[in-house]
């Protein structure tokens, strides 16, 4: 029995341009018909009728309820089949892989990624296309438009569907296949990396690691891969059981929020310290890499993976090219130049990498925000990054710190830092970025404490594959000494606006590569204030997150 319910339309006040879906406070999603409106709009635009879709989420609060709503709407909208993770769980990389492996029409991921969860936290709905990648702008725009127009949604009245066992169920004419969320993803990882060599490393008494799943969805993946398949000691994975509120932790794997690991690696006693530590975010597509007393900047990580990709089975035959998001440091550009590879600079967000990957223009890509990936799927991938590092450490028999310092010695060091000013008044933030754009003409050629502006612009990107244009992607200022400043507004926050300021300074001289990042970037911080006048526009004297 199929019933059509007439509902009041709940249009969305705004859309996050940086993401492939919708990210809001959980209470907003809990408003009646809010989630339904967005999901119906996805179904209308994507034309999923008669097709198969993958569905899962990172287990945060409201995941269970949302899955039940979407399954019933899918049945009412004529989908042939849904592949759903057991207990409604699937990481973002696992969804991307399942879409590709099963050759289905797309997927929906319930996650607000690295944003906090819980009834007072955030919730999100992302939708992916048949290539396994986040929906591109033309789709997200169309869904947004549709959500303001539709007057009804379709809903199949039925009791809750049990998702606790791997089996196939029927909901009306639609089939529901409940799958193990982990196994197919773990099998893929086993094909890409040298598990024997990593196992030898992890089971030797000279090497120990910890992986902090931050109570989010990466836990089951990490336990299966690191502990079960690779033989790491039980207890290697910390906080490995997904919890609805992430136990109150903000699941953003950086030096500010991954406090347990940071404490262990930087302040811990010798007995607590391990050789390698990593943490992952809510939906397991990001990761932070740490060595003993050592933090690997994600921008450096991308450069190091590129320089050493030939040591990894999946990339042994060479790379097609690489890409980084615009604010990501130019460390990878130097490696690409040395290896004679094309290096693309894209706007922030993974969707822009998808076209390059599909067109075989690149093999590796990454962002400064702790996300790396390759052509194995169409999302960034936290556990893949950790495995890449472990495979390198096994091959090179070096410490994390030595590997990074050797890299700097060869290519130079790109000191890098990001300052976030969160929950800023939206109008203040807009005035700030508008003023910066307006000042660009007068900046060219100017010098600030020895830093001469070589070029500056409001970044716009022409997609080399489909020719689409993305404008106003952030203000970038390049100095004659290869330093850079970037200013942009975040697209993923749920409270006011977030201003991000990115600073980068290049140092070729090995003797000067031992400074602390804060010291090295001190002058640039002052220059960023002079140029951007963030304090003047927002009243904030300092950022609230520095990564
Ligand atoms: C942030 C990061 C960006 C990342 C995006 C989604 O966007 O800066 O690099 O792609 O989050 O990450 P913004 O617009 O707030 O700067 V996640 O882990 O949602 O999938
Ligand atoms: Co994420």
pLDDT for position 343: 98
- Out of 388, 411, 434, pick the residue that ends a domain: 411
**Burial (CB count <10 Å: 0-12, 13-18, 19+), residue 32:** exposed
Adjacent-strand bridge partners of 4: 154
Sign (positive/negative) of CA torsion 190, 193, 194, 199? Answer: negative
CA distance 414 to 509: 11
Among the atoms of ligand 1, which is closest to the Cα of residue 498? 15
Q: Is 299 in the pocket of ligand 1 (CB under 6 A)?
A: no
Residue ranges of E strands in 227-321: 237-238, 276-280, 287-291, 294-296
Same-domain pairing of 388 and 356: yes
Q: How far is CA 10 from the centre of its chain?
A: 29
Query: Distance of CA 278 to CAs 110, 117, 239, Å?
Result: 24, 21, 12
Contact 348, 368 (CB under 8 A): no
Among the atoms of ligand 1, which is closest to the Cα of residue 325? 9
Same-domain pairing of 407 and 417: no
Compute the distance from residue 251 Cα to the ligand 2 centre, in Å.
Answer: 9
Same-domain pairing of 399 and 417: no
Kindly report the protein residue whose alpha carbon is nearest to atom 4 of ligand 1.
349
Adjacent-strand bridge partners of 416: 504
Kindly report the protein residue whose alpha carbon is nearest to atom 8 of ligand 1.
369
Sign (positive/negative) of CA torsion 29, 35, 41, 42? Answer: positive
Q: Is 281 in the pocket of ligand 1 (CB under 6 A)?
A: yes
Pocket test for ligand 1, best of 92, 128, 371 (most atoms within 8 A of CB): 371
Contact 290, 296 (CB under 8 A): yes
The backbone region for 500, taken as left when phi is positive above 0, alpha when psi lies in -120 to 50, beta otherwise, is beta
Same-domain pairing of 307 and 388: yes
Same-domain pairing of 383 and 494: no
Contact 171, 158 (CB under 8 A): yes
Q: Which two tokens stand for residue 204?
A: 């030797």
pLDDT for position 492: 76
Same-domain pairing of 390 and 453: no
Same-domain pairing of 45 and 160: yes
Compute the distance from residue 284 Cα to the ligand 1 centre, in Å.
Answer: 13
pLDDT for position 1: 40
The dihedral formed by the CA atoms of 75, 76, 80 and 81, expressed in degrees to the nearest 10: -20
SS3 407: helix
**CA-only gyration radius of the chain, Å:** 23
SS3 274: coil
- Helix (H), strand (E) at residue 527: helix 522-532
Same-domain pairing of 197 and 174: no
Catalytic residue IDs = 113
Q: Which two tokens stand for residue 455?
A: 């070029």
Directed axis angle between helix 298-308 and helix 382-396, to 10°? Answer: 60
pLDDT in tens, 253-298: 988 888 889 888 888 766 667 999 999 999 999 999 999 999 999 9
- Out of 411, 431, 450, pick the residue that ends a domain: 411
Q: Is 545 in the pocket of ligand 1 (CB under 6 A)?
A: no
Which ligand has the minimum distance to the alpha carbon of residue 501? 1
Residue 241 has φ and ψ, to the nearest 5°, of: -100, 120
Adjacent-strand bridge partners of 288: 279
CATH no. for residue 514? 3.30.310.50
Same-domain pairing of 436 and 387: no
Among the atoms of ligand 1, which is closest to the Cα of residue 112? 19
SS3 154: strand
Query: Distance of CA 141 to CAs 108, 123, 204, 387, 462, Å?
Result: 17, 20, 52, 36, 18
CATH no. for residue 100? 3.40.120.10
Compute the distance from residue 134 Cα to the ligand 2 centre, in Å.
Answer: 12
- Out of 180, 201, 225, pick the residue that ends a domain: 180
Same-domain pairing of 401 and 488: no
Q: DSSP labels for 190-252?
A: HHHS-HHHHHHHHHSTT--EEEE-TTSTHHHHHIIIIIIIT-PPTT-EES-S--TTGGG----
pLDDT for position 237: 97
Kindly report the protein residue whose alpha carbon is nearest to atom 18 of ligand 1.
113
CA distance 59 to 215: 10
Contact 202, 269 (CB under 8 A): no
Same-domain pairing of 224 and 316: yes
SS3 424: strand
> How many domains, the chain?
3
pLDDT for position 270: 63
Q: What is the extent of the structural domain holding 432?
A: 413-546
pLDDT for position 12: 55
Pocket test for ligand 1, best of 126, 348, 382 (most atoms within 8 A of CB): 348
Q: Is 490 in the pocket of ligand 1 (CB under 6 A)?
A: yes
Q: Is 369 in the pocket of ligand 1 (CB under 6 A)?
A: yes
Same-domain pairing of 263 and 326: yes
Which segments in the chain show pLDDT lower than 50? 1-8, 15-18
Q: Is 525 in the pocket of ligand 1 (CB under 6 A)?
A: no
pLDDT for position 5: 47
- Residue 527: HSE in the Cβ half-sphere, 13 Å Cα cutoff: 24
């Amino acid at each position: 029995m199929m019933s059509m319910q007439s509902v009041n339309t709940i249009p969305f006040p705004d859309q996050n341009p940086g993401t492939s879906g919708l990210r809001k406070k959980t209470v907003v999603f809990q408003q009646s018909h809010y989630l339904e409106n967005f999901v119906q709009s996805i179904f209308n635009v994507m034309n999923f009728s008669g097709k198969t879709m993958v569905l899962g989420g990172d287990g945060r609060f409201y995941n269970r309820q949302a899955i039940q709503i979407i399954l019933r709407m899918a049945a009412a909208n004529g989908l042939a089949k849904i592949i759903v993770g057991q207990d409604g769980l699937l990481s973002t990389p696992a969804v991307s892989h399942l879409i590709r492996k099963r050759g289905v029409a797309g997927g929906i991921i319930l996650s607000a990624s690295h944003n906090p969860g819980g009834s007072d936290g955030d919730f999100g709905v992302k939708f992916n296309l048949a290539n396994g990648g986040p929906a591109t702008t033309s789709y997200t725009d169309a869904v947004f438009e549709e959500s303001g127009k539709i007057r009804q949604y379709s809903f199949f009245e039925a009791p809750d569907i049990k998702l606790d066992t791997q089996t196939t169920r029927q909901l009306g004419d639609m089939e529901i296949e409940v799958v193990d969320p982990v196994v197919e993803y773990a099998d893929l990882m086993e094909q890409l990396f040298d598990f024997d060599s990593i196992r030898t490393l992890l089971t030797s008494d000279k090497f120990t690691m910890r992986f902090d799943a931050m109570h989010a969805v990466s836990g089951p993946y990490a336990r299966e891969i690191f502990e079960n398949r690779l033989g790491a000691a039980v207890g290697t994975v910390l906080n490995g059981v997904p919890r609805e509120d992430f136990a109150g932790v903000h699941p953003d794997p950086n030096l500010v929020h991954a406090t347990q690991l940071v404490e262990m690696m930087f302040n811990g006693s010798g007995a607590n310290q391990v050789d390698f530590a990593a943490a992952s975010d809510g939906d397991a597509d990001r990761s932070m890499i740490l060595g003993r007393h050592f933090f690997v900047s994600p921008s450096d990580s991308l450069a190091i993976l590129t320089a050493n990709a030939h040591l990894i089975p999946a990339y042994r035959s060479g790379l097609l090219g690489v890409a980084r998001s615009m604010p990501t440091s130019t460390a990878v550009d130097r490696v690409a130049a040395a290896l004679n590879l094309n290096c693309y600079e894209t706007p922030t967000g993974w969707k822009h990498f998808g076209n390059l990957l599909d067109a075989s223009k690149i093999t590796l890509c990454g962002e400064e925000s702790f996300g790396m990936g390759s052509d194995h799927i169409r999302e960034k991938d936290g556990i893949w990054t950790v495995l890449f590092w472990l495979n390198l450490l096994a091959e090179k028999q070096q410490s994390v710190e030595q590997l990074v310092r050797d890299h700097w010695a060869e290519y130079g060091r790109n000191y890098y830092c990001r300052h976030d000013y969160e929950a800023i008044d939206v109008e203040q933030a807009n005035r700030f970025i508008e003023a910066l754009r307006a000042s660009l003409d007068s900046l060219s050629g100017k010098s600030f404490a020895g830093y001469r502006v070589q070029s500056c612009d409001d970044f716009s990107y022409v997609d080399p594959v489909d020719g689409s244009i993305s404008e106003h992607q952030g203000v970038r200022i390049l100095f004659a000494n290869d330093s850079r400043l970037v200013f942009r507004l975040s697209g993923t926050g749920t409270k006011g606006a977030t201003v991000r300021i990115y600073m980068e300074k290049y140092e070729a001289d090995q003797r000067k590569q031992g400074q602390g990042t804060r010291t090295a970037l001190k002058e640039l911080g002052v220059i960023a204030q002079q140029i951007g006048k963030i304090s003047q526009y927002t009243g904030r004297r300092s950022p609230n997150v520095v990564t």
